[in-house]
Chain A
Amino acid sequence: MQQDYTYAVARIRFRETKLLSDADLGSLMASKDVDSCIRLLRDKGWGDNSDCSPEELLSLEEKKLWELVAEMVDDMSELSFLLAPNDFHNLKVAVKCITRDVEPYDMFITNAIADPEKIYQAVKNREYDELPAFLQEPAKEAMTTLLQTSDGQLCDIIIDKACMEYEYKLGKESDNDIIRLYCELFVACADIKIAIRCAKTNKGSDFIRRALAECDSLDIDRLCETACEGRDAVLAYLGTTEYRSAVDAISVSMSSFEKWCDDYLTSVMKPQKWEPFGIGPVVAYIIARQNEIKAVRMILSAKLNDLPDETIKERLRDMYV
Chain B
Amino acid sequence: MAEILNNSGLFFALLGAAVATFLAGIGSAIGVGKAGVAAAGVLSEQPDLFGKVLIFQLLPATQGIYGLLVGFLILSNVGLLGGGVEEISLLKGSLYFAASLPIAFAGYFSAVHQSKCSVAGIGTVVKKPDQMGKALILPAMVETYAILALLISILAVNGISGIQV
Chain A interface residues (CB < 8 Å from chain B): 4, 6-11, 13-17, 72, 276-277
With both chains docked as a complex, state the minimum distance between the C-beta of A288 and any C-beta of chain B, in angstroms.
Answer: 14
Instruction: Let me know if B41 and A15 touch, CB within 8 A.
Output: no
How many chain B residues sit at the interface, stated as a range, is 10 to 19
Given A4-B37, A15-B45: A10 touches B119 (CB 8 Å cut-off):
yes
A107 to B45 alpha-carbon distance, docked (Å): 33
- Considering only residues 140-159 of chain B, those with a C-beta below 8 Å from chain A are none
Scan residues 18-68 of chain B and give those whose CB is less than 8 A from a CB of chain A: 34, 37-42, 44-46
- Within the complex, the shortest CB–CB distance from B12 to chain A, in Å, comes to 37
Assess whether B46 is in contact with A14, with CB atoms less than 8 Å apart: yes
**Which residues of B have CB within 8 Å of A14?**
42, 45-46, 126-127
- Min C-beta distance of B81 to chain A, whole Å: 39
User: What residue of chain A has the Cβ atom nearest to residue B41's Cβ?
Assistant: A10
CB of B69 closer than 8 Å to a CB of A = no
CA distance A149 to B120 in the complex (A): 57
A6 — which chain B residues lie within 8 A by C-beta?
A: 34, 37-38, 41, 119
Asked if B116 is at the interface (CB within 8 A of a chain A CB), the reply is yes
A6-B119, A10-B122, A14-B127 known; 6 other A-B pairs, CB under 8 Å?
A9-B41, A11-B42, A14-B45, A14-B46, A276-B119, A276-B123
A-facing mask of B89-133, CB < 8 A → 1, else 0?
Answer: 000000000000000000000000000100110110011000000
A7 close to B127 (CB less than 8 A): no
A11, closest chain B residue (CB): B41
Q: How distant is A7 from chain B, measured CB to nearest CB, in Å?
A: 4
Docked complex Cα distance between A15 and B45 (Å): 8
Majority DSSP secondary structure for residues of A touching B: helix
Residues in A with CB closer than 8 Å to B122 are 10, 13
Complex Cα distance, B45 from A14, in Å, reads 7
- List 7 tightest A-B contacts by C-beta distance, closest first: A10-B41, A14-B45, A276-B120, A10-B38, A7-B41, A13-B123, A11-B41
Q: Is the CB of A9 within 8 A of B38?
A: yes
Chain A residues with Cβ below 8 Å from B46 are 14
In the bound complex, CA of A276 to CA of B123 (Å) = 7
Q: Contact at B116–A10, with CB atoms within 8 Å?
A: no
Find out whether the CB atom of A13 lies under 8 angstroms from the CB atom of B40: no
Chain B residues contacting A15 (CB-CB under 8 Å) are 45
B contacts, CB < 8 Å to A: 34, 37-42, 44-46, 116, 119-120, 122-123, 126-127
* 29 A-B residue pairs with CB within 8 Å: A6-B37, A6-B38, A6-B41, A7-B37, A7-B41, A8-B41, A9-B119, A9-B123, A10-B38, A10-B39, A10-B122, A10-B123, A10-B126, A11-B44, A13-B42, A13-B122, A13-B123, A13-B126, A14-B45, A14-B46, A14-B127, A15-B45, A16-B127, A17-B126, A276-B38, A276-B120, A276-B123, A277-B116, A277-B119
Question: A17 — nearest CB in chain B belongs to which residue?
Answer: B127
- Bound together, the chains give a CA A8 to CA B45 distance in angstroms of 11
Name the distance in Å between A12's Cβ and chain B's nearest Cβ: 8
Chain B residues, CB < 8 A from A72: 41
- Which residues of chain A are within 8 angstroms of B126 by Cβ–Cβ distance? 10, 13-14, 17
Contact residues in B for A17 (Cβ distance below 8 Å):
126-127
A4 and B38 alpha carbons, distance in the complex (Å): 11
Residues of A within 8 A of B37 (CB): 4, 6-7, 10
B46: nearest chain-A partner, CB-CB: A14
Interface centre among A7, A13, A276 (most CB of B within 10 A): A13
Complex CA–CA separation, A163 to B37 (angstroms):
36
Interface contact B42-A10, CB-CB below 8 Å: yes
Minimum CB–CB distance for A48 against chain B, Å: 17
**What separation, in Å, do the CA atoms of A276 and B126 have in the docked complex?**
12
Whole-angstrom distance between the Cβ of B118 and the nearest chain A Cβ = 9
Once bound together, how far apart are the Cα atoms of A4 and B126, in whole Å? 20
Min CB gap B131→A, angstroms: 13
